[in-house]
Amino acid sequence: MKKILALLLAVPVWGIAQQTDPLLSGNEYLQQKWVDSIYGQMTLKEKVGQLFMIDVFPEQGEKKIKRAEELIREYHVGGVIFFRGNPHQQAVLTNKYQAASKVPLLVGMDAEWGLAMRLDSTFAYPWNMTLGAVKNEKLIEQAGYQIGRHARRLGVHINFAPDIDINTNPENPIIGNRSFGEDKHNVAEKGAAFARGMRNAGILACGKHFPGHGDTETDSHKTLPTITFSKSRINNVELYPYNRLISENLESVMVAHLNVPALENREHYPSSISKNIITGLLKEELGFNGLIFTDALNMKGASDFTSPGDIDLAAFMAGNDMLVMSLDVPRASQKLIEAYNEGQITEERLEYSVKKILKAKFKVGLAKYSPIDTTDLYRDLNTKRDNLLEEEIYANAITVARNQDSLVPFTRLEDKDIAYVHFGDAGGEEFLKALNHYARVDEVQADKLDVLLKQLQPYNTVIIGHHRSNESPWKPHDFTVGELTWIYEIAREKKVVLTTFVKPYNLLKLSTLNNIESIVVGYQNNPVAQRKAAEVIFGAIGAKGVLPVTANKELLVNTGITTEALGRLQYGIPESVGMNSATLKKIDSITEEAIKTLAMPGAQVLVARRGKVVYNKSFGRHTYTGNRPVSNGDIYDVASLTKILATLPMIMKMNDDERITIDSRLGDILPELKGTNKENISVRDVLLHYGRIKPWIPFYRYTLDKDTDKPLEKYYRKRPQGKFTVKVTDHLYMREDYRDSIFKAVKESDLLSKKGYRYSDLGYFMLQKFIEDSYGSSLDSLDENYFYASLGADRTMFNPLDRGIEKENIVPSEADDYFRYQIIQGYVHDMAAAMKGGVSGHAGLFSNADDIAKIMQMYLQKGYYGGKHYFKEGTIDKFNTCYYCDRDVRRGLGFDKPRPESIGDELYNRVPKGCFCHSGFTGTYTWADPENELVYVFLSNRTYPTASNRKLITKGTRTEILKVIYDAIADK
């Protein structure tokens, strides 16, 4: 009675009941009929052969590949397990081996995080440690399902996964990243979800390494590790996930190569051949009825077995069904046959295991075996669904483990000067690149600590990235002693975000967390993990992950600080937002064709949907004859996009601050216009281009010599002197007072004779003056202070050369042969804006596609971005209203609106009327669609070398791309 009570206390309730047969298929009658038929035709040698699963390494040469085929033909082995190689090699060998086998082979792999664990050039899912940080179990199940789909496509039937070891020893050289963590509940839940996913894909799951491989500091491939826990502890912790998975009909279990004194009293006796552990504990106590596999029988440490085949016999007698990676199949087969003939192995025992194996083969479809079709194999193993799921998993795994003063996510970017310091022996390029999507983040490098600290002086915030190899889960992960010292010293002087892209055990080496404000764990040095960590730091996504293991005495298991998303743009794949990658790729050919036909030298194209940038490419070169390719960081003269990116936001702010209304009259807001023909024009009509204001005035022509068309000395000098201080371009300085003449000419200009829509730059000259007079500051400073700095739009500015941007990073806009007589690069293309010193309300802004997308996304989000509300509720809608549509004025206030003449009738009839957009003379364009949550940015320098080149316009390149974007929306 006492023994029964002790057993009840030691084993969870669900483990007592006998497991239903996990190997039954959907048609039990046909399954049993097939199993009995195959078994009935087998010789003793064929039956014994079914017990073996041999290893195959496709890269080990023809001799070993041929030897595997000989074992299949002569000894009728039941299965093969593949290691390394590539998918095509494996598929070809699988077909070859299956053709050689009388009974179809059960094909296995160690694909714990997908086929890439053992195959080159194949998609890899995150490691189990990373999955252990994810709270959303549906994602784990989906990962199991996708891995299962890949396995089936490659002719694999059993995946030796999930690893459900409880990872309680940070020094474990074998488990580590392969475990879901140290919390038994977490491991059980994740393991069960992973197994369900594979089961749903038609793949057999295998829980390993029974009874628990988590607490060892030795390598079981090299010796026999000892687990010193008591039986009570093992029952309560290590066996917890097995009980859970067995209750959900786990199909198979792999027994570990361990010495477990609490369960096996023979000294140094491997668990993989222990009847007490396999039959007594796994089968009888836990009630497991599925397939039981040995771990590799060629591992060291089984010192009691010196004769080939003895360990195989012992493993079978202990209760295993399949013998994995025997040292000598012929000798082991002979040993088992001799034991059968001598009565040591009964027919009942042999039949029990062989029929289980056959039953498993029927369940995975081997009764109707067909060879693997190698057509499109790589495509099928690397799908967009895999990329999407990878993105979702990392987004859910990134963990904020510490966050003093809520430093993460970053807010008030205008107050932050950020540096990045790289640690580790692997690359962090994707991390740095992703950080720079959100703000200027400079990499600071030095060989000595004192030099580094000196170089960090201009910065108040430092992001440290710890990057080590992601090639395998067993690569080194710790900080070096020197790196630890540097972390402490940097943290003493600066606010620090320590971001690690290795398993979190590296944080155990930190003797103190004092002064380290934030710790972000990225788990793997994977490009997606790097991008998602950057997104968490800047609040593009919220942090959701938890530590799956104890990472430090102050960072306990299940620690995870949830942070909120701040509405900043994310970056990902089109399928994540309901768009089709293949369709969007047509943008490439449209843009490349435009370059090929000399419509423009190069371009940047960006597409975002639902707050995520899903297409962001640069094409061509800065000039047709140059060799500098366009990069995403290069900036363009955006021409009239200045109106909606610089002037309009200030007008909306002034509207919110009640400094102006859309019905304010120009004469009321600008005293200079009292008594002129402009005084009664409303701000509304200026923004709608409905105020009868002339389109433009060729100011520059009045400053040229009539005979030579060269700048008159009366107005210009080649260098600054006296009142000639307005820099128009290199070696051309205009008189200061001529700017007053420009405004005077605007003020005194005649109005058009008839009321109607007429696009005009001149209205923005007047709006700029009002803005600057109201604030006592220039438009460029106001935009920087109120918008660009806090948006993280550090590539958006007027007069970029004065802001420290290198000329080589600025795309030239024209080879001017009519006014300035030089290549215009870094100076505004628009002549009037140039004569105003490069800052004007209608033109002068430089930017790149990334930054413009931020501003347009802020507009889409009704003025919210980065945790900040830039405008009051309703302001964006007020300005994005077509007030005079009934008068055939299809514009909003400042914004252009969809018009048949600009985008074509077919597209006009497809797009929502709430869209807003604008184009620029230099070949720029941006579009936003609130209903479909779209942002599109197109930047080019179609005006180079000459503005007379109108091919971009006549070809309709920008709107052709817009059509593709709408075609790519897959969920409409």
- Give the active site residues: 221, 295
What gap in Å lies between CA 98 and CA 415, rounded to an integer? 66
Q: Burial-class residue 842 by CB neighbours within 10 Å (0-12, 13-18, 19+).
A: buried
What gap in Å lies between CA 178 and CA 187, rounded to an integer? 11
| CA pseudo-torsion sign 70, 73, 76, 79 | positive
Strands 106-109 and 79-82: parallel
Tell me the one-letter amino acid at 499.
T
What gap in Å lies between CA 883 and CA 66, rounded to an integer? 80
Q: What is the per-residue burial (b if ≥16 Cβ within 10 Å, else e) of 248-287?
A: bbbbbbbbbbbbbbebbeeeebbbbbbbbbbbbbbbebbb
* 41: nearest Cα among 106, 103, 101, 104: 103
What gap in Å lies between CA 554 and CA 516, rounded to an integer? 12
Give the rounded distance of the alpha carbon of 600 from its chain centre. Answer: 32
Instruction: Give the max Cα distance, the chain.
Output: 120
Task: Extract the tokens encoding 438.
Answer: 């959100």
Contacts of 99 (CB under 8 A, 6+ apart): 371
Q: What would the DSSP string read from start to end of 248-294?
A: TT--EEEE---B-TTT--STT-BGGG-HIIIIIIIIIIS---SEEEE
Side-chain-side CA neighbours of residue 924 (13 Å): 29
What gap in Å lies between CA 614 and CA 687, rounded to an integer? 32
Cis peptide bond prior to 695, omega within 30° of 0:
no
Task: Give every strand in the sheet of 716-717, ordered side by side.
Answer: 716-717, 732-735, 724-729
* 868: nearest Cα among 436, 417, 412: 412
Contacts of 463 (CB under 8 A, 6+ apart): 418, 419, 420, 421, 435, 441, 496, 497, 499, 537
Instruction: Assess contact for 403 and 447: CB atoms under 8 A.
Output: no
DSSP 371: P
What gap in Å lies between CA 406 and CA 411, rounded to an integer? 10
The end-to-end CA distance of the chain, in Å, is 67
Give the rounded distance of the alpha carbon of 751 from its chain centre. Answer: 54
Q: What would the DSSP string read from start to end of 417-433?
A: -EEEEEESSS--HHHHH
What gap in Å lies between CA 212 and CA 464, rounded to an integer? 36
Tell me the one-letter amino acid at 337.
I
Task: Extract the tokens encoding 691.
Answer: 């105020």
| Token pair 């140094």: residue | 268
Task: Extract the tokens encoding 834.
Answer: 């140039």
Q: What does each C-alpha distance from 45 to 317, 352, 923 come to in angstroms? A: 17, 16, 78
| Token pair 């479909």: residue | 932
Contacts of 523 (CB under 8 A, 6+ apart): 126, 127, 129, 130, 133, 397, 398, 399, 501, 502, 503, 504, 529
